[in-house]
Amino acid sequence: MVTRPPTFPFALAHLPAAEVLDRLVARDRQLTAVLLAHLAEVDARRLYLRAACSSTFGYCVERLHLSEPSAYKRVRASRAARAFPVIFELLARGEIHLAAVTLLAPYLTEANHRELLTAAVHKSKREVEELVASRFPAADVRDLVRRLPARSAAGPGLTAPAAAPAAAAPDPPPAAVVAGPAAVAPAFVSAAGAPGDRAASTLSPPTPDRPPPAPVVVPLSADRYRVQFTATREVRDRLCEAQDLLRRDLPDGDLNTIIGRALELLVQDLRRRRFAATPRPRTTATDADGTRRSAHIPNAVKRAVVARDGAQCTYVDAEGHRCRERGRLEFHHCEPQGQGGVHRVETITLRCHLHHALDTVRAYGEVRVARAIAARRAPKPPSRLAPGPVPAGKGGPPPSGTPASEAEPRRRLAPGLVPAGSGGPGPPGTAAQLVGRDDREDPTEALASDVVTARSPPIADS
């Protein structure tokens, strides 16, 4: 296959793409609303029959060549918009998206459609799911741990069949189905409660060609969620052991309580290591002194910064929007340490690793940052110290019985280096600069500690 450079209108290196992106997105939303109106007309007049298709869904997949998820969303949204035309206007203005319409469609009525649609304006899919769960709570699912079948090198006959519904109504979304072989007996079932989710018996075991299913977190009500993931045998054994150890205090072995306790301990430990959080903080003279030259940020300063910033990135764009990222947070110096910055609460903020890197590049420049990263990743040179013990009187330990006044601490030097003032060829201080680097500050290391990019591992203290 011959690859060619993109041509206009796909070659946008010469255009300020950020300025025209808003107009393109607005145009896309209007086209989406128009497309849904046409699909609603095709569905109402059953025009798909003339195209040798048995449903609007099949027409979208077979004739329009849309993917099954895309066809499902558009058919579902077009029917809801035909019943409640205000949806067309909301989609065209970008106040609501297709995923939100798909989630709200089963619950829209003449009495509540305006209220629900207004509540879903400018909300993400996850927020709309929580909105639906709070208004229309579902029953709790039972605690279930099921052994999955071993993966095998399956052929084409064992792959999951493509979803191609023949009826006019599209199938329910895959997220509402818990996939798993019904014939496999569960390893153990505890805390039996309401009937669990139905198993999709038509789905075959996963094959090596198919990626493992992603974890599922689905809201059931305002404060209840269904959590589904694939665990290893070790995790399953630990879970069983925890149930056995808690039988006296927790006879039913409720998984929610057990996992909740474990996560509480884990989060407390991570907060202590990451943000110096402790139930009994103490402020010492070292913690209060933010002017000392050290790469370590005092724990008291960390706690104050996290409490002030709410454990969230504080980067704000030109329009006043704050970054919502809460993962991979870094302590960012408003005035970098390499330029004289100190460890004080008013000069340190929380930034996600990408915005931390962005401000670092702005402060130092791309060339200097790249050099610092390269120097930090470069292999360390071999030690200059000679291997093996050193005889007494030549930099080694003094012989036994030597008076304390004569037993001065001596530093081992590399071959060819002579301490300052002993008549050696090097200038005074050469040995201390080359060997005694543990008590000196390296500007390159100070700069590298302020640099965090997506290609480098996260640094806790910048």
The residue among 135, 159, 184 that closes a domain is 135
Count of the separate structural domains present in the chain: 4
Domain match, 217 and 302 both? no
Q: Rounded to whole angstroms, what are the CA distances from 221 to 107, 109, 138, 374? A: 15, 20, 6, 51
- DSSP three-state, residue 200: strand
Which residue ranges of the chain lie beneath pLDDT 50?
153-209, 285-286, 407-446, 448-462
Domain match, 127 and 47 both? yes
The residue among 380, 399, 433 that closes a domain is 380
Domain match, 267 and 358 both? no
Q: Where are the beta strands (DSSP E) in 337-400?
A: 348-352
Q: CB neighbours (10 Å) of residue 413?
A: 22
For residue 419, the model assigns a pLDDT of 43
Is position 449 within any domain?
no
Is position 435 within any domain?
no
Closest by alpha carbon to 41, among 57, 31, 19, 56?
56
* pTM tops 0.85: no
Domain match, 239 and 224 both? no
For residue 162, the model assigns a pLDDT of 41
Q: How far apart are CA 347 and CA 341, in angstroms?
A: 8
Is position 349 within any domain?
yes
The residue among 336, 353, 380 that closes a domain is 380
Q: How far apart are CA 4 and CA 72, in angstroms?
A: 35
Is position 16 within any domain?
no
Domain match, 32 and 130 both? yes
For residue 339, the model assigns a pLDDT of 78
Domain match, 115 and 196 both? no
Domain match, 190 and 235 both? no
Cα torsion 253, 256, 260, 262 to 10°: value is: 40
CA angle 50, 55, 61 (to 5 degrees): 95
Is position 144 within any domain?
yes
Is position 340 within any domain?
yes
What is the domain range of residue 81? 22-135
Buried b (16+ CB within 10 A) or exposed e, 192-225: eeeebbebeeeebbbeeeeeeeeeeebbeeeeeb
Is position 437 within any domain?
no
Domain match, 251 and 216 both? no
Q: How far apart are CA 354 and CA 327, in angstroms?
A: 11
- DSSP three-state, residue 62: helix
Residue ranges in 211-298 assigned as alpha helix (H): 233-245, 255-275, 285-288
Domain match, 122 and 53 both? yes
Q: What DSSP string describes 427-452?
A: PTTHHHHHT-GGGS--HHHHHHTT--
Render pLDDT for 342-377 as a digit per residue (tens, 0 to 9): 888 888 999 999 999 998 888 888 888 888 888 888
Domain match, 88 and 123 both? yes
Is position 157 within any domain?
no
Phi, psi at 120, each rounded to 5°: -95, 5
Residue 329: half-sphere exposure toward Cβ, Cα within 13 Å: 24
The secondary element (H helix, E strand) that includes residue 187 is: strand 186-188
Please check whether residue 177 is in contact with residue 200, taking contact to mean a CB–CB distance below 8 angstroms: yes
Task: Tokens 């993931």: give the residue.
Answer: 229
Task: Tokens 């919502």: give the residue.
Answer: 324
- DSSP three-state, residue 330: strand
Q: How far apart are CA 187 and CA 218, in angstroms?
A: 23
Q: What are the percentages of helix, strand and coil residues in the chain, rounded to 5?
A: 40, 5, 50
Domain match, 187 and 126 both? no
Domain match, 313 and 369 both? yes
